[in-house]
Chains A and B, each alone.
Chain A
Amino acid sequence: MRRFLVKRLWHAALTLFVMITGMFFMFRLLPGDPTATVISPALYPKAQAALKAQFGLDQPLWMQYFIYLKNLTVFDFGVSFHTLRPVAGEIGNRMVNTLVLILPSMIFAYFLGALVGAYMAWRRGSKAEGLLVLLATALQSTPVFWLGMLAILFFSLKLDLFPVGHIVSPGKFPQATWQMYFSLDFLHHLALPFMVNVAYQFCFPFLLMRSTMLSTIGEDYIELARMKGVPENKILYHHAMRNSLLPLATTLPMILGWAVAGSVVIETVFSWPGLGLLMVEAVGRSDYPVVQASFLLIAVLTVGGTLLADLMYGLLDPRISYK
């Protein structure tokens, strides 16, 4: 077990390291001069040189790389080209905002998907099952930002039930950031993106649970339980469903990581100030330190999710050997 753990951790660390390195050199070696946005070519050469020195761009590339790595170890992501303030100051809040949006909806969608998926596998061949499979596939095939736009169109503008976007109403931002997450106004803003996310994230666990259940139902012990006269409900939820939970449990962290990566579009539609929106905005402004930092944090969440999924698989399935 210990070796398994060490190996997985090492792989995750290696993945992150390669990504950080790749990103760093991608920005500096690909065509287009990212510094042109802050250091205008129209400036006097002397002023240009001074600015370059201020951002550390006068150093050779490998030196810049080591300084970058060194700074990362103390969570120093550099200075934003746009606000000229340290990136680290803002990015933490953004990450919390993303997680607050993604985590609860994801977990809710997983529970819902598991229950409905199990029940529908039990009623396989019924009209309701066929309809739900079609609906879930169609939802999965729908661009989620478009779903969000329809939700805004209908619930916000037509019925006037929810705000159009953002995380709190303008002017209502509380004194301390943490207070925001406990305000009704915040929940009111969270409701619509939450629902859209649940609708979208429901499909995967639903389809997965359904197909796992279909193979579980064919097992002998289900037949045995039936012969013993165990009530159908009990067979469904105690015997069959429990034994079908493994793939669902182990994919959760990984899917969560993907959802964080995919949240760029949801956050854009709802103007939700999370990591994804920050990244999209920063790319638009050529604010490369912010792009790098937000990408890095999204990558940490994705890689962390995959790592957790691997570990959970090892923990939950005793048939796995820890090699």
Chain B
Amino acid sequence: MLRTFLNFFSIVWRSYAGKISLIVFTICMSLAVLGPIAAPYGPTERVYDAAGNLVRLAPPSWDHWLGTTLLGRDVWSQMLWGARPALTIGLLTALGTVVIGVNVGLLAGYLGGAVDSFLMRLTDIFLGLPFLPFIIVLLSLTGQNIWTIILAMMAVMWRSTARIVRAEVLSLRERQFIAAARTTGASDFDIIYREIAPNVMPFALVGITFALAWAIITEASIGFLGFGDPNVVSWGSIIYDAYASQMMYRAPWWVVPPGIAIMILVTSVYFMGRAYEEVVNPRIKQAG
């Protein structure tokens, strides 16, 4: 398990695009960890000038690298604070998504029969579910905080991993080493989790990267539609604030940075996923 994980980085590092995106991703990760410490102001702190006036919509300057918002908040500080929720929500969602997806895929593929039919029907139903609308409805009913957002995304996103893993398990199931394990008296549980699972790990990792990319964008979309956690400043919520204030046209420095940050982060994630996928699974076409 750990080896597959380390292997991921060494494979990604081998290609040119992978190398750059790994570096970019590491920078984003360190921003998420260190950002709040390095930020000159708090995420919702209002900045006053020497005369005691609120510094509203100030253009970028030496004091405020990315200017300030309508409520006098420092955009650069908000950007630093916003990296953490984007990545935490993204990574937790991706992890949970893949854990569910892999287990569904393993059980459906290995057990077959009625279990398989049921789980695959369920997967199909989730595949037909309109993603963002469903999450918004769910959030409107459960209330909005980081955890409901993560759970809502997880509840839908496992569908694609489940399908891919199941297809792989179907072919793995017929291999000799599984028959060998069975003759030695290994239980179904052992076969599924000791023999088959390690072989689908590469698919799980590809799933994690694409789920991460999706989750980051979706979190931003949720924030933009006004269904984000009201107590957390994230890149999506910065864009929402700028949009809701109707002042973004006077203050491009307020809207442009969070979008660019999301774009750079997600692009690096996509390229890492593709660099890895090309090596471990050259058959499968990139699934966007």
Residues of B in contact with A, size category:
35 or more
A204 and B288 alpha carbons, distance in the complex (Å): 6
Q: Which of A138, A208, A264, A298 contacts B263 (CB 8 A)?
A: A138
Q: Which of B121, B124, B133, B249 contacts A295 (CB 8 A)?
A: B133
Which residues of B sit under 8 angstroms from A12, Cβ to Cβ?
Answer: 128
Contact B288 A291 (CB under 8 A): no
- Asked whether A280 and B225 contact (CB < 8 A) given A11-B124, A149-B239, A207-B286, the answer is yes
* Nearest CB in chain A: distance from B125 CB, A: 5
Question: Can you list 11 pairs linking A and B with CB atoms under 8 Å apart?
Answer: A15-B128, A19-B125, A23-B137, A140-B270, A264-B133, A265-B224, A265-B225, A268-B225, A269-B243, A295-B134, A299-B128
Which residues of B sit under 8 angstroms from A302, Cβ to Cβ?
Answer: 128-130
What residue in chain A is nearest B235 (Cβ atoms)? A143
Contact B136 A146 (CB under 8 A): no
Contact B131 A303 (CB under 8 A): no
A306 in contact (CB, < 8 A):
yes
Which residues of B sit under 8 angstroms from A157, Cβ to Cβ?
Answer: 249
Q: Which of B220, B225, B243 contacts A264 (CB 8 A)?
A: B225
* Nearest CB in chain B: distance from A269 CB, A: 8
B104 in contact (CB, < 8 A):
no
Which residues of A sit under 8 angstroms from B239, Cβ to Cβ?
Answer: 143, 145-146, 149
Q: Which of A15, A211, A262 contacts B132 (CB 8 A)?
A: A262
What residue in chain A is nearest B283 (Cβ atoms)? A215
Contact A32 B141 (CB under 8 A): yes
Contact B217 A143 (CB under 8 A): yes
Which residues of A sit under 8 angstroms from B286, Cβ to Cβ?
Answer: 207-208, 211
Q: Which of A153, A286, A294 contacts B255 (CB 8 A)?
A: A153
B3 in contact (CB, < 8 A):
no
A321 in contact (CB, < 8 A):
no
Q: Which of B133, B217, B285 contacts A247 (CB 8 A)?
A: B285
Q: B-side interface residues toward A, CB under 8 Å?
A: 121, 124-125, 127-134, 136-138, 140-143, 213, 217, 220-221, 224-227, 236, 239, 243, 248-249, 252, 255-256, 258-259, 262-267, 269-271, 285-286, 288
Which residues of A sit under 8 angstroms from B142, Cβ to Cβ?
Answer: 30-31
A227 in contact (CB, < 8 A):
no
Q: Which of A32, A260, A280 contacts B130 (CB 8 A)?
A: A260
Contact A143 B129 (CB under 8 A): no
* Nearest CB in chain B: distance from A228 CB, A: 29
Contact B133 A279 (CB under 8 A): yes
- Asked whether A141 and B121 contact (CB < 8 A) given A153-B255, A208-B285, A299-B129, the answer is no
Which residues of A sit under 8 angstroms from B143, Cβ to Cβ?
Answer: 31-32
A279 and B139 alpha carbons, distance in the complex (Å): 13
- Asked whether A145 and B221 contact (CB < 8 A) given A211-B286, A261-B133, the answer is yes
Contact B255 A149 (CB under 8 A): yes
A284 in contact (CB, < 8 A):
yes
A49 in contact (CB, < 8 A):
no
* Nearest CB in chain A: distance from B118 CB, A: 12
Query: In A256-310, which residues have CB < 8 Å from any B CB?
Result: 257-258, 260-262, 264-265, 268-269, 276, 279-280, 283-284, 286, 291, 294-295, 298-299, 302-303, 306
Contact A143 B267 (CB under 8 A): no
Which residues of B sit under 8 angstroms from A243, Cβ to Cβ?
Answer: none
What residue in chain B is nearest A154 (Cβ atoms)? B252
